[in-house]
Amino acid sequence: MPAFTTNVEFGYWLAKKPEKIIYGRPNNAKKIKYLDWLYKKESNKEIFETLEETIDKALKLIEKK
């Protein structure tokens, strides 16, 4: 089941604080092209393809604070 509310929330936070968003999703996720495009356009940051990569990046971001 698609999570359209979550997509709206993603866009909201990406517009407000793109530096705080870490975006990851599996390559076989459905209906992600728009989210990929928006994330790249607004943040110009890397999209992670595994949960492990996404968590690793998030932890590194936290450690910098």
The 10s digit of each residue's pLDDT in 29-56 is 888 888 899 899 889 899 999 999 999 9
What's the rounded Cα separation, in Å, for the pair 18 and 50?
Answer: 20
Q: In the Cβ-directed half-sphere of 13, how many Cα atoms lie within 13 Å?
A: 11
Mean pLDDT (the chain) is 86
Residue 65 banded pLDDT, cuts 50, 70, 90: low
pTM of this structure: 0.75
What's the rounded Cα separation, in Å, for the pair 54 and 63?
Answer: 14
Domain residue ranges of the chain, discontinuous segments joined by +:
4-63
Tell me, what's the pLDDT at 55? 96
